[in-house]
């Protein structure tokens, strides 16, 4: 093995640079050249890349984001182009494969979540040798206990809950914190436990506002004149739908969620009479430097990815199983989303700590 490629696709998250650094340093020790594609699969299609040597990754371990850039819109199989002055979408996957072959890549390491790795799986059907690295702050990728970036997002959400506690208590308010989590409530659940939330609302457990209000009144009767609610953006009421903030045409996920926190705050104020406020963390969860945990996990994934490539473990993804780095087929990782088990140990822990999920 003489030359490998690497790309970062999908939404950015803390720890991407740590993976890139680990890949470059490990490959250098094995006399393997590394080519980094710019902006995810767009760089593969457009043949936009840069060589990566150890000198190019100095100091990036602690930096958030990705030095390669990323994109969650440039699917080679549905690539946005201009034709006769009009925007059209075309399958440019063969062009991407030709670029990979022309560069003489013995393997391409794809760092991403279910969307990016699904695209990688399609490329394997065209004969491209792929190794996957799991990335998403939502921790909803199957086949691994943890994705890097998740624990940093938890730290950010937990810090926000801690700050909201003091202002909520001072003004006797209901404070609602909306966090990411399209179809999986891992961030809301774990940050809720770590930050001492009173109510946790997640996509896996539909809620009613009556049950949420009931918990708020119970707290008032105990002399607690404020309440903290954390809600995943994909949470929905019993018999209701997720709140869509906007629709982005041409995106693989055109329905952008957001606004559930505001709806809950407004309705709870009407029901309870308590002043309510909402805070939406949004992309703050993606930004900033990775936690020590994520730097370590990302580094382990990067080293493992190069080792997998040299061992010919193509079509596999690095995976954390318990405390050990293992491998799983990419096809298994993208088969289904990993969501919170409604009766699982984490949910039961939260219930035992007095947290409500608003379930009827």
Active site residues: 138
Helix (H, G, I), strand (E, B) or coil at 327: strand
Tokens of 85: 């002055």
Question: Residue 191 to residues 36, 91, 236, 300, 346: CA-CA distances in angstroms?
Answer: 34, 41, 19, 24, 11
Looking at 62-205, list the stretches that DSSP marks H as alpha helix, in order from N- to C-terminal side.
93-103, 114-124, 150-171, 186-195
Closest among 238, 233, 240, 281 to 255, alpha carbons compared: 233
Task: Give the integer Cα–Cα distance in Å for 263 and 241.
Answer: 12
- For 169, counting Cβ atoms within 10 Å of its Cβ (0-12 exposed, 13-18 middle, 19+ buried), the class is middle
Closest among 275, 175, 177, 276 to 235, alpha carbons compared: 177
Residue 262: count of CB within 10 angstroms of its CB: 16
């Amino acid at each position: 093995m003489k030359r490998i490629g690497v790309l970062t696709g999908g939404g950015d998250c803390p720890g991407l640079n740590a993976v890139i650094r680990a890949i470059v340093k490990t490959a250098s020790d094995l006399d393997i050249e590394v080519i980094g594609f710019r902006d995810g699969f767009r760089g593969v299609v457009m043949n936009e890349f840069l060589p990566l040597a150890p000198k190019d990754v100095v100091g990036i371990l602690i930096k958030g984001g990705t030095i390669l850039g990323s994109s969650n819109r440039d699917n080679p199989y549905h690539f946005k182009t201009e034709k006769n002055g009009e925007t059209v979408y075309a399958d440019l996957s063969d062009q991407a494969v030709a670029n990979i072959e022309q560069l003489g890549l013995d393997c391409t390491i794809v760092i991403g979540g279910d969307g990016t790795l699904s695209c990688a799986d399609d490329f394997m059907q065209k004969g491209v040798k792929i190794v996957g690295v799991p990335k998403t702050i939502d921790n909803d990728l199957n086949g691994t206990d943890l994705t890097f970036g998740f624990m940093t997002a938890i730290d950010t959400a937990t810090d926000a809950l801690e700050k909201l506690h003091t202002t909520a208590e001072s003004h006797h308010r209901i404070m609602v914190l909306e966090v990411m989590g399209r179809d999986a409530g891992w961030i809301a659940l774990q940050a809720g436990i770590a930050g001492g939330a009173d109510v946790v609302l997640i996509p896996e457990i539909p809620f009613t506002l009556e049950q949420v209000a009931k918990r708020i009144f119970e707290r008032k009767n105990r002399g607690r004149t404020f309440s903290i609610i954390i809600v995943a953006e994909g949470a929905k009421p019993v018999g209701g739908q997720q709140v869509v903030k906007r629709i982005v045409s041409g995106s693989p996920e055109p329905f952008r969620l957001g606004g559930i926190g505001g709806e809950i705050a407004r309705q709870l104020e009407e029901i309870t009479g308590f002043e309510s406020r909402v805070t939406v963390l949004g992309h703050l969860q993606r930004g900033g430097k990775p936690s020590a945990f994520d730097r370590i996990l990302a580094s382990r994934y990067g080293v493992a990815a190069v080792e997998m490539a040299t061992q010919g473990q193509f079509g596999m993804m690095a995976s954390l199983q318990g405390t050990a780095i293992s491998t799983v087929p990419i096809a298994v990782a993208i088969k289904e989303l990993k969501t919170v088990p409604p009766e699982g140990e984490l949910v039961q822990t939260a219930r035992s700590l007095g947290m409500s999920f608003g379930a009827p």
